[in-house]
Structure formats: structure tokens, C-alpha cells
């Protein structure tokens, strides 16, 4: 039982909680796992579209049935696992990158690496989903009362030329490549940038505090808006980065 999971905490406040992803519910046993942590339903795009279309993140908003699942009961808490920008691993012939480059040919030969061309075009497909989501929510009168939170689970460690990736990212080592996007957006929000180091475990308490969810302090991590929290991230090999310095065990 996970009574303090985000879906359960939101459901206690009257929200509908569903998760969304292209892949089949058996992959990673997502249907059972998501149900166990409190989601009412795992929505697989493959139940509504063929593989070629389902892999595209914009299917969330382009398919009326799926979009209806997202918004039919308000308020709603939706956990959307994107896929379009997931891993490059070898260039344009991997994971629908060739289709992404067909849709956005302007990314061909933009970089010195075919892999970078591919991942850029694939990232554009994820951008399409966000753009479409904003448009449909606005049309349905839901945007004013919607908060969108985006977080990247990892950088593209499948790119073969990691040195080139470091150069593009302005990073000196692999640890610093783990600096990935985390944003919280709502219409007319006052812009604030948090530049201290935070880590994945900080996302949960931050969301709980912003929405007034009572998790009784049962968490590992800190609210990123807490002025007393200096911020840190660490790795299983003992390396760590804080706002004041860093230690890399393998360098």
C-alpha cells in the first residue's frame, strides 16, 4: 500500500488520477505497478493507435479518445510518460528518429553528428505534444486552472560520442551531463529560476508543498523552494554535487 503516493494524495482531494504512455501495459508491468501506487487507470496509446502513431507524444492530444481520458473528469492528475525523445543509440534508424527527420528535415546535417540530428528532431516531437496540449486546454477552458510539471529522468547516455555531447552541453564530465530540465508552469505564473542543485527525490516534496498535500513528512528529499535547503545530488559511486562544490570519485 502506498497511501502517500502522489496519485493517492491527489485522489484524496477529489482528483482523478490516470497515467499515460504509448507502450503496452505489460511492458515493465506498468498496469499493475501504476494501479498499486494509486492510479485509477493506465492508458496505453497502443489501445487506440497503431505503433507508428502511438510512439509520437502528440498522440496524447491528437487522438480525441485519449485526450478525453486526460480531461473528462476534473480536477485531474495525469502522469504522462513521454517517448518521442527517448534515447538515440545509433542515429536516424533507431526509435522512429527517421520519421522525426522526415517530419522535420531542417534538422538533417544541423550538427556534426547524425545522432544529434536525430535526437533534436525527436525532441521537437515532444515539443509538439506540449504545444498541442496548451492549445486544446485553452480551447476547452481548462488552461487557467492547470499546472504542468516537466522533468527529464536522464540525459541521452546512449549517444556514442559522449565527448561531443559534453562539448555541446558545456560539461566537463559525465556527472554534469545529468543536469536535466525540471520546470513547473501555469498560466500567468511569475517567472522564478532555481539555480541551486536539486535531485529527483526533491520533486515529490516540492509538489506536495505547492499543492498543500499532507504527506506527513514521509519522504526523502526537500522542497526546492525552501531557503534553508542548499541543494545536492549524489550518485551510487559516492560522487556528489552541491551548490558549494562537488566530488567525483572516478575522475
pLDDT of residue 92: 61
Q: What is the pTM of this model?
A: 0.92
Contact 155, 116 (CB under 8 A): no
pLDDT of residue 147: 97
| CA–CA distances in Å: residue 238 to residues 3, 119, 197, 247 | 31, 30, 16, 8
Cα dihedral value 59, 32, 10, 204, nearest 10: -90
Give me the tens of pLDDT residue by residue for the chain, a chain 251 residues long: 899 999 999 999 999 999 999 999 999 999 999 999 999 999 999 999 998 899 999 999 999 999 999 999 899 999 999 999 888 766 566 677 888 999 999 999 998 888 888 889 999 999 999 999 999 999 999 999 999 999 998 888 888 888 888 888 888 888 999 888 899 999 988 999 988 999 999 999 999 999 999 988 888 899 999 999 999 999 999 999 998 899 999 87
Separation CA 121–CA 97 (nearest Å): 7
Strand partners, 21: 44
Cα dihedral value 72, 20, 121, 159, nearest 10: 160
| CA–CA distances in Å: residue 212 to residues 9, 24, 178, 195, 206 | 10, 34, 29, 24, 10
Tabulate helix, strand, coil % of the chain (nearest 5): 40, 15, 45
pLDDT of residue 87: 80
Amino acid at each position: 500500500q502506498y497511501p502517500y503516493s502522489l496519485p493517492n494524495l491527489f485522489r484524496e482531494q477529489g482528483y482523478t488520477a490516470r497515467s499515460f504512455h504509448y507502450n503496452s501495459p505489460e511492458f515493465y508491468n506498468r498496469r499493475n505497478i501504476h494501479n498499486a501506487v494509486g492510479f485509477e487507470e493506465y492508458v496505453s496509446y497502443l489501445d487506440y493507435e497503431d505503433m507508428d502513431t502511438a510512439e509520437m507524444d502528440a498522440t496524447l492530444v491528437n487522438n480525441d479518445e485519449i485526450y478525453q481520458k486526460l480531461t473528462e473528469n476534473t480536477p485531474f492528475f495525469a502522469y504522462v510518460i513521454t517517448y518521442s525523445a527517448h534515447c538515440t543509440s545509433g542515429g536516424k534508424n533507431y526509435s522512429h528518429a527517421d520519421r522525426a527527420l522526415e517530419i522535420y528535415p531542417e534538422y538533417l546535417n544541423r550538427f556534426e553528428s547524425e545522432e544529434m540530428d536525430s535526437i533534436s528532431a525527436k525532441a521537437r516531437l515532444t515539443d509538439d505534444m506540449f504545444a498541442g496540449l496548451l492549445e486544446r486546454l485553452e480551447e476547452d477552458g481548462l488552461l487557467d486552472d492547470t499546472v504542468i510539471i516537466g522533468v527529464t529522468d536522464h540525459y541521452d547516455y546512449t549517444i556514442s560520442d559522449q565527448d561531443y555531447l559534453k562539448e555541446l552541453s558545456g560539461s566537463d564530465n559525465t556527472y554534469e551531463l545529468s543536469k536535466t530540465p525540471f520546470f513547473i508552469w501555469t498560466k500567468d505564473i511569475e517567472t522564478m529560476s532555481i539555480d541551486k542543485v536539486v535531485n529527483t527525490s526533491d520533486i515529490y516534496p516540492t509538489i506536495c508543498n505547492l499543492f498543500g498535500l499532507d504527506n506527513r513528512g514521509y519522504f526523502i528529499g526537500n522542497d526546492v523552494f525552501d531557503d534553508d535547503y542548499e541543494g545536492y545530488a549524489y550518485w551510487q559511486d559516492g560522487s556528489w554535487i552541491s551548490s558549494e562544490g562537488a566530488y567525483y570519485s572516478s575522475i
